[in-house]
Amino acid sequence: MILIVGAEGQVGYELCRLSKENQIPFLGLTRNQLDVTNKAMIDRVLGEFEFDVLINAAAYNAVDRAEEERDVCESINSIAPENLAEFCHRKSKKIIHYSTDYVFDGESKSPYTELDPTAPLSVYGKSKLLGEQRLAASCRQHFIFRLSWVYSLRRHNFLKTIIRLASEKSKISVVDDQFGAPSFARQIARGTLECIKQMRAGSSSYGIYHMTPAGSVSWYEFTGHILKRLSERGMKVPHLEAISSSQYPSKVRRPKNSVMNSQKLLKSFGVKLGSWESGLNECFGDFEFK
């Protein structure tokens, strides 16, 4: 059985949804059912279930707010992965953990590989890197999947912000000098479940993997694609203006280049997420304009 922690988050929800659809035995635990920062609760709650793989989809993702909520951010992104990994190590379970492109500084001129040096710019990025390190040191049977620009029609994310702004504004301004691969949460969940299938078949090389769709785009260009799809559904859309990162009010420096190379994932597991465009199309297949 797969045990999914953070079952109400964007990726956690899709993991539960796809597992149910494909009749894969799973159990999803929400934040109310398991406090991942509480070691005693982890031992008590997880000890009740038989599973072979734990997926940690719980995370603190409020990048700007993390600058003021450092302790909360670090407890969820750094300490909790270690707590879960220690439990998995004691019980001889595999653990999958999601990390981020924010472990890099974004100065590379080419897509990042798993061997490139990390240099996070923010409290959030530093907390995720420390979480990687603590988890890897606590459980040998670990898989760390670094993600980028995750979105869905659930929770708070860039896509939902643009949809909201499109209904409220006549003009929106978006940065055009930060590049990455927008990742639909269902693409990530589908890829993760396929990796688990390969792990169980004996293809299990522990370590860090980049898990992103193919291609890259700027936030400005991504917004243009979102607005195009809204327009096709009959919504009046605002004028879109390109601005630089220096013009955007933010407490946090974000990586200019968040593009990651996912060839290691393909080589080890035979898994591809498809393109970022196909993910956006699939996401909008669920969209209902009200």
pLDDT at 204: 67
Mean pLDDT for the stretch of residues 72-101: 96
Place of tokens 């500084």: 105
The amino acid sitting at 269 is F
d(CA 254, CA 276): 20
Confidence of residue 154 (pLDDT cuts 50, 70, 90): confident
Mean pLDDT for the stretch of residues 264-284: 94
User: What is the pairing mode between strands 53-56 and 217-218?
Assistant: unpaired
List, for residues 176-226, the tens digit of each pLDDT value: 999 999 999 999 999 999 999 998 887 668 999 999 999 999 999 999 999
Phi, psi of 157 (to 5 degrees): -160, 175
102 is catalytic: no
Mean pLDDT for the stretch of residues 246-268: 90
Mean pLDDT for the stretch of residues 245-266: 90
d(CA 154, CA 96): 22
The single residue of 124, 151, 209, 220 carrying the catalytic annotation is 124
d(CA 193, CA 199): 10
Q: Which helix (DSSP H) or strand (DSSP E) does residue 142 occupy?
A: strand 142-147
pLDDT of residue 249 exceeding 90: no
- This prediction's pTM: 0.94
pLDDT of residue 290 exceeding 60: no
| Residue-averaged pLDDT of the chain | 94
List, for residues 11-36, the tens digit of each pLDDT value: 999 999 999 999 999 999 999 999 99
2-156+183-213+260-274: what fold?
A: Rossmann fold (3.40.50)
List, for residues 98-146, the tens digit of each pLDDT value: 999 999 999 999 999 999 999 999 999 999 999 999 999 999 999 999 9
Q: What CA–CA distances, in Å, run from 249 to 46, 63, 105, 253, 254?
A: 42, 13, 19, 10, 12
pLDDT above 70: percentage of residues in the chain: 98
- Are 235 and 287 within 8 A, CB to CB? no
d(CA 43, CA 84): 9
Confidence of residue 289 (pLDDT cuts 50, 70, 90): low
- Are 31 and 8 within 8 A, CB to CB? yes
The helix/strand/coil state of 249 is coil
